Amino acid sequence: MKKILAVLICALLVVASMGAMAEGQRVGVSMPTKDLQRWNQDGDNMKANLEAAGYTVDLQYASNDVQTQLSQIENMISEGAEVLVIAAIEGSSLGEALSMAKEYEIPVIAYDRLLMESDAVSYYATFDNYKVGTVQGTYIKDALDLDNAEGPFNLEITAGDPGDNNARYFYQGAIDVLNPYIESGKLNIVSGQKEFNDVATPTWQTKVAQDRAENILSSYYADGTNVDVWLCSNDSTALGVENALAANYTGTYPIITGQDCDIENTKNMIAGKQSMSVFKDTRTLAEQVVKMVGQILNGETVDVNDTTTYDNNVIVVPSYLCDPVFADANNYKEILIDSGYYTEDQLQ
Ligand code: BGC
């Protein structure tokens, strides 16, 4: 009798442990574009971590085209995805696909960018977007010693994509730090372009940021006026500003901020052409999301650390915010190379 019981318990344990394993459950991962370095890394990390955990991964990139992203997600659903992880091109444009996910009871994790205007979003995993902006603003404040220096300093601003909910958080975080100095006149926006809509960069494209920066330089700085600082929300836009400066500017090189530690920008940091970036380790985010996928599929409590901030205009989405890290030419070796994110060769 004892033997039979032992065998039964063993069998039960095996079945229970199989239940905890992924067993090839299908996860759909929808990424916005291959054009920007970070999304390739995000996609690769997600796929590798999910596969290592035993899931089958359907990873798709949508070439920054909303219709493509919509139909890719709909396909993922028809192919039997049990969880969807989505980094939206435009946060508000995936309504149809999200309604379909809801109808099929497929949980959705918004990856890095919040999915807006929908109650079908189960969780949001990102970096603390407002903090990214405050890190950039604080860097400028300290670098110019705004509390003590006389100034005034000339400032220009390049922000992100209006269709990406993150972009306003980055902008606002930085502006909240800089506003007192803008209002007192210590920071002077020579172009007069300050409001988010005037400084935004649709689709975050380098070329779009470059064209606008060239315009500003030729309209306001061609007479030899120096631009002392250029607040850029991320690296792709910073690169546009750096390209414009290289071709159209002979004054003292400005302080330039960024975000992501893309390879080109890290090289520019080392060469003194970009002052700082904000490092968002895509490995950390991918790990967190894989953990959340597992928790969802195993019916466990899902790890979140913010339940108040991210209102998508329909619901407040329970979120997990990872910590962004300040990076510059002094610490890049430690945070980017020693951590194995890049090799020395990649930054040559
Ligand atoms: C991400 C940034 C990225 C930007 C452009 C944002 O949603 O949070 O890391 O630089 O999109 O791709």
> Which of 280, 301, 331 is a domain's end point?
280
Residues 152 and 82 in one domain: no
pLDDT of 124-140, one tens digit each?
999 999 999 999 999 99
pLDDT value of residue 301: 98
106/13 same-domain check: yes
| Closest atom of ligand 1 to CA, residue 260 | 9
Residue 210 lies in a domain: yes
Long-range contacts (CB closer than 8 Å, 24 or more residues apart) made by 337-343? 339/281, 341/261, 341/281, 341/283, 342/263, 342/266
DSSP 317: P
Ligand 1 centroid vs 161 CA: distance in angstroms? 9
Per-residue tokens: 340 = 């194995």
Which amino acid is located at 120 in the chain? A
> What is the pLDDT, as a whole number, of residue 3?
45
Within this chain, do residues 87 and 221 fall inside the same structural domain, yes or no?
Answer: no
Report yes or no on 334 lying in a domain.
no
Do 152 and 119 sit in the same domain of this protein? no
Nearest CA to ligand 1 atom 10: 234
CATH number of the domain where residue 160 is located: 3.40.50.2300
Q: How far apart are CA 169 and CA 177, in angstroms?
A: 13
Are both 7 and 40 inside the same structural domain?
A: yes
Q: Which two tokens stand for residue 69?
A: 């992203």
- Residue 149 is assigned to a structural domain of this protein: yes
First to last CA, the chain: 70
- Shared domain check, 216 and 315: no
Cα of 152 vs centre of ligand 1, distance in Å, is 31
**154 and 92 housed in the same domain:** no
| 190-216 mean pLDDT | 98
Tell me the per-residue pLDDT of 79-106, one tens digit each, with 9 for 90 and over. Answer: 999 999 999 999 999 999 999 999 999 9
Query: Which residue among 164, 239, 277, 310 has the greatest number of ligand 1 atoms within 8 angstroms of its CB, and so is best to mutate?
Result: 164
Nearest atom, ligand 1, residue 129 CA: 8
pLDDT of residue 4: 46
The position carrying tokens 């969807």 is 84
Phi and psi at 79, nearest 5°, equal -80, 0
Q: What confidence category does residue 263 fall into, taking pLDDT thresholds of 50, 70 and 90?
A: very high
Q: How many domains does the chain have?
A: 2
Closest atom of ligand 1 to 236 CA is 10
In this structure, the chain runs to a length of 348
Q: Once rounded to an integer, what is the mean pLDDT over residues 63-82? A: 98
Last residue of a domain, one of 251, 280, 309: 280
Say if residue 11 is in the same domain as residue 139. no
Same domain, 95 and 238: no
In a domain, 335, yes or no: no
Residue 338 is assigned to a structural domain of this protein:
no
Are 137 and 245 within one domain?
A: yes
* Average pLDDT value for residue range 240-266: 97
Residues 92, 11: one domain? yes
Is the C-beta atom of 112 inside 6 A of ligand 1? Answer: yes
Question: Within a domain: residue 340?
Answer: no
Confidence of residue 21 (pLDDT cuts 50, 70, 90): low
How far is the centre of ligand 1, averaged over its atoms, from the C-alpha of 148 (Å)? 33
Tens digit of each residue's pLDDT (9 = 90 or more) over 139-191: 999 999 999 999 999 999 999 999 999 999 999 999 999 999 999 999 999 99
> In this structure, is residue 341 part of a structural domain?
no
pLDDT digits (tens, 9 = 90+) for 303-312: 999 999 999 9
Q: Residue of the nearest CA to atom 5 in ligand 1?
A: 204
For residue 336, being part of any structural domain is answered with no
Q: Which of 36, 37, 112 to mutate to test the pocket of ligand 1 (most atoms within 8 A of CB)?
A: 112
Bridge partners of 125? 111, 320
Report the distance separating Cα 169 and Cα 30, nearest Å: 23
Q: The domain containing residue 45 runs over which residues? A: 2-128+281-322
**Residues 153 and 217 both lie in one domain:** yes
CB of residue 297 inside a 6 A radius of ligand 1: no
User: What's the gap in Å between 140 CA and the centre of ligand 1?
Assistant: 20
Q: Would the CB of 228 count as within 6 Å of ligand 1?
A: no
The residue whose CA is least distant from atom 6 of ligand 1 is 166
